[in-house]
Amino acid sequence: MTTTVLGAGYAGVMASNRLAGRGEEVVLVTPNPYFVERIRLHRVATGLRENARLDLGTVLNSAVEVIQDTATKIGDDKLQLASGENLPYDTLLYAVGSGASAQNGTYRIVSEHETERLRTALADAPDAPVTVVGAGLTGVELAGALREAGRAVKLISTAPDRRAIQAHLRFLAKQGVEIEVGRVDPAEIEGLVVDTTGFTVPSLAADSGLPVDEFGRLLVDEQLTVKGHPNILGAGDAVHLEAPAYLRAACATALPMGAHAADVITARREGQAGEAFRMGYVLQCTDLGSGRGRVQFLHPDDTERAIAIDGRAGGLVKETICRMTVRWLTQERDRAGRYSWPAGA
């Protein structure tokens, strides 16, 4: 029996390694022969880092068969690929992640392609000030990296409710970022504008007639399985699981989901149902540029604890966690089942 994994991101590589290490035949379909560390893209956009690519061979179990292609439609037992091939599957893991296209002349950094667009625009206009819209993790990390690169930056966002975001904004203001609180339409702002509000997911699940939520995310149950399609599972940003309700799009979510999807597939091969997916959060780490960061401690349900680490120490912990995300993948490549994660709330 073969498991076909769609997408070589955090969820797809983690699941492939866990399954291949347990002797399962795994086929990984990916448009690119490399893994993109998406959590580094703000530094690539600003020219502080050359790229965020890792050769797939450095993170993936060598027993996994890699097909370089893009799935265009999911059928009951086969995939249509952009090359025109049909690829049969026994079990499918949908792990196509997220991204969003720039609209109305604005820029985004959700994908490598969009990041390169912004990088080119910044290089073409080295003195142009930049407006960043949105003070989520992506917006504040980008604003910090832009300041580190010596840019004039304005950050516009609605009033932040989380303490961590309020702290990020205070720090960025001290670094010279102009902060404006308000709701704006990024398309109506003049100049070089980066829109970091929200994201979209590929329309593949919806185009294939699979059940999706209002954002087009594949709906999965607690065993990360699509209702009415027991041979299709999903993990990562591209899926929506109703419970636990506090899950957010993050590599901190995609990694455990990928590992758990592999566990469910293994359990089914052994005649068991597979356990319900549970996870809790521990930290949210932010890179604020110039080696500074913030590590916000969390309750398992993603609400904030009173403790945080700021400044250079925060920056060091953030960098360590970024490196760990790749290490968790390589450790799983070398010993299936090694990766574990905190239990749910």
Residues 185 and 14: their CA atoms lie apart, in Å, by 37
Q: Taking the complex as a whole, how short is the minimal distance between the CB of residue 323 and ligand FAD, in angstroms? A: 12
x/- mask, ligand FAD, residues 196-215, rule CB under 6 A, reads ------x-x-----------
3-state SS class at 9: coil
Q: Does 31 bind ligand FAD (CB under 6 A)?
A: yes
Closest C-alpha to 6, from 66, 60, 84, 62: 66
Q: Taking the complex as a whole, how short is the minimal distance between the CB of residue 97 and ligand FAD, in angstroms? A: 2
Q: Does 256 bind ligand FAD (CB under 6 A)?
A: no
3-state SS class at 240: strand
CB 192 within 8 Å of CB 107:
yes
Residue type present at position 3: T
Q: Does 250 bind ligand FAD (CB under 6 A)?
A: yes
3-state SS class at 324: helix
Nearer residue to ligand FAD within complex by CB, 254 or 264: 254
Stretch of 4-12, 218-226, 291-299, 302-310 contacting ligand FAD, by CB under 6 A: 4-12
CB 8 within 8 Å of CB 28:
yes
Residues 323 and 159: their CA atoms lie apart, in Å, by 32
Q: Which residues in the 106-145 window bind ligand FAD by CB under 6 A?
A: 109-110, 137-138, 141
Stretch of 37-45, 152-160, 298-306, 337-345 contacting ligand FAD, by CB under 6 A: 37-45
Residues 47 and 6: their CA atoms lie apart, in Å, by 30
Tokens 């760990």: give the residue: 324
Q: Does 28 bind ligand FAD (CB under 6 A)?
A: no
Q: Which of 74, 153, 167, 254: binder of ligand FAD (CB under 6 A)?
A: 254
Q: Taking the complex as a whole, how short is the minimal distance between the CB of residue 295 and ligand FAD, in angstroms? A: 11
Count of residues for the chain?
A: 345
Stretch of 8-16, 146-154, 166-174, 218-226 contacting ligand FAD, by CB under 6 A: 8-16
CB 22 within 8 Å of CB 62:
no
How many C-beta neighbours within 10 Å does residue 122 have? 20
x/- mask, ligand FAD, residues 76-105, rule CB under 6 A, reads -------------------xxxx-------
Residues that bind ligand FAD (CB under 6 A): 6-12, 29-32, 38-39, 41-42, 70-71, 95-98, 109-110, 137-138, 141, 202, 204, 236-238, 249-252, 254, 285
